[in-house]
């Protein structure tokens, strides 16, 4: 097992990464929060009878009283109506301020349960047990919680750091292939933007990762967790600009998700598509002169196409509502070279159009 400490101020928290950790979660939780008697295990309707039940059993075996709750599957979990029902459950069960919420699931469960933890009684303890590759390497770390508005993804949210994150790499073996490949989009993002050495190693180990070899998965998850943890510790509330570098591929990616309809395209798929667009914009500015490794890694990811019926106007309309915009201008993260990201707010509509033309033609 690997342990990474996310050094957020004033309360740092551990990220545990390894195989077969589900049974150890009660012990990790007690160490992080103090010995407890009660918890709320939140999952979704898909995981409720599998991993959710397994985590509940682990807590009961350790002597905890467990309240179980299932959110809707997918982006439907991140709706105001779903959150209102969950709040009602917590109130009816007389959950107290020191009762931890244990979020078991992918990014949507983590976002919704995290937002509930941040806002119920103005904050209750939170433990993330991410069960997808994307959640383990990215969304479970850093304290971003959110729900969707019909006009914009993740429009309403809060920064709320968890008390503990437990990443069991063995659960990824049963992850559907499309979801696993979606998570690899975020892995590639970390490699290209922050760690050229990791990018080189990832290219060599790609087949081992695709075959879900435990040592390869543990290494990938731990490296991404360490990279994100370091960035989050420097910029906890996304104010200094450092954390914005994590948004490589996200400006266009979120636009695609919104235009297609939430849940139609996986987040990691949209990020992979958005990264290709960002790379084309970067190349159009004369950057990325040696992009062999970068293009090679992006080429390993599944190609995403804009669904039929979505015009370019509809595709780009969500850019006007992007929460990362500054003074009415969209903020893009581009690359001058591998491992050399830069934030810019002067990308023209023409640059975006040319980049998307190149992505569609590839």
Please list the ranges in the chain whose pLDDT falls under 50: none
Q: Is 164 left (phi over 0), alpha (psi -120 to 50) or beta?
A: beta
State what percent of residues in the chain have pLDDT above 70.
98
Q: Is 142 left (phi over 0), alpha (psi -120 to 50) or beta?
A: left
Which is the CATH superfamily of the domain at 177-222+236-361? Dehydroquinate synthase-like - alpha domain (1.20.1090.10)
- Predicted local distance difference test score (pLDDT) of residue 152: 76
Peptide bond into 87 cis (omega under 30): no
Q: What angle do CA 243, 246, 249 make, to 5 degrees?
A: 145
φ and ψ of 79, to 5 deg = -115, 155
- Predicted local distance difference test score (pLDDT) of residue 326: 62
Distance of CA 342 to the CA centre of its chain: 21
Q: Where are the domains of the chain?
A: 2-174, 177-222+236-361
- Predicted local distance difference test score (pLDDT) of residue 242: 82
Kindly list the distances between the CA atom of residue 93 and the CA atoms of 38, 68, 96, 105, 112, in Å, as whole numbers in the listed order. 11, 11, 9, 22, 19
- Predicted local distance difference test score (pLDDT) of residue 113: 98
The DSSP code sequence of 252-286 is HHHHHHHHH-TTSS-HHHHHHHHHHHHHHHHHHTT
Token pair in block for residue 179: 């979801």
What SS3 class is residue 66? Answer: strand
Distance CA 151, CA 2 (A): 40
- Predicted local distance difference test score (pLDDT) of residue 322: 64
Kindly list the distances between the CA atom of residue 275 and the CA atoms of 83, 97, 149, 272, 355, in Å, as whole numbers in the listed order. 32, 41, 24, 5, 11
Tokens 């342990």, located at residue: 3
Q: Which CATH class is domain 2-174?
A: alpha beta
- Which tens digits make up the pLDDT trace of 151-196? 777 889 999 999 999 999 999 999 999 999 999 999 999 999 999 9
Residue 110 near residue 135, CB atoms below 8 Å? yes
Nearby residues of 283 by Cβ (< 8 Å), 6 or more positions away: 291
Task: Decide: pTM greater than 0.85.
Answer: yes
């Amino acid at each position: 097992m690997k342990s990474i400490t996310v050094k957020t101020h004033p309360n740092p928290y551990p990220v545990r990464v390894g195989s077969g950790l589900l049974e150890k979660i009660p012990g990790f939780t007690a160490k992080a929060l103090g010995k407890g008697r009660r918890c709320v295990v939140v999952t979704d309707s898909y995981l409720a009878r599998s991993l959710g039940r397994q985590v509940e059993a682990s807590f009961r075996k350790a002597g905890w009283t467990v309240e179980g709750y299932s959110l809707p599957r997918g982006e439907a979990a991140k709706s105001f109506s779903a959150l209102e029902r969950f709040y009602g459950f917590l109130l009816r069960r007389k959950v107290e301020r020191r009762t931890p919420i244990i979020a078991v699931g992918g990014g949507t469960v983590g976002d919704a349960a995290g937002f509930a933890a941040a806002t119920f009684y103005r904050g209750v303890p939170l433990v993330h047990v991410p069960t997808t590759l994307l959640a383990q390497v990215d969304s479970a770390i850093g304290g971003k919680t959110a729900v969707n508005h019909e006009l914009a993804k993740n429009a309403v949210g809060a920064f709320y750091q968890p008390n503990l994150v437990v990443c069991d790499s063995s659960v990824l073996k049963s992850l559907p292939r499309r979801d696993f490949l979606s998570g690899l989009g975020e892995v590639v993002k970390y490699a290209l933007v922050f760690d050229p050495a990791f990018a080189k190693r990832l290219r060599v180990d790609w087949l081992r990762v695709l075959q879900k070899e435990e040592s390869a998965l543990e290494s990938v998850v731990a490296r991404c967790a360490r990279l994100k943890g370091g960035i989050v510790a420097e910029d906890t509330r996304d104010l200094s600009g450092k954390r914005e570098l994590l948004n490589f591929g996200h400006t266009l990616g979120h636009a695609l998700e919104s235009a297609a309809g939430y849940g139609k395209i996986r987040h990691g798929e949209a990020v992979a598509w958005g990264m290709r667009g960002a790379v084309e914009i970067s190349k159009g500015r004369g950057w990325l002169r040696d992009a062999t490794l970068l293009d090679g890694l992006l080429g390993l990811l599944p190609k995403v196409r804009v669904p039929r019926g979505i015009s370019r106007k509809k595709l780009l309309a969500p850019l006007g509502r992007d929460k990362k915009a500054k003074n009415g201008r969209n903020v893009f993260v581009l690359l001058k070279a591998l491992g050399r990201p830069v934030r810019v707010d002067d990308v023209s509509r023409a640059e975006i159009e040319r980049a998307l033309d190149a992505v569609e033609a590839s």
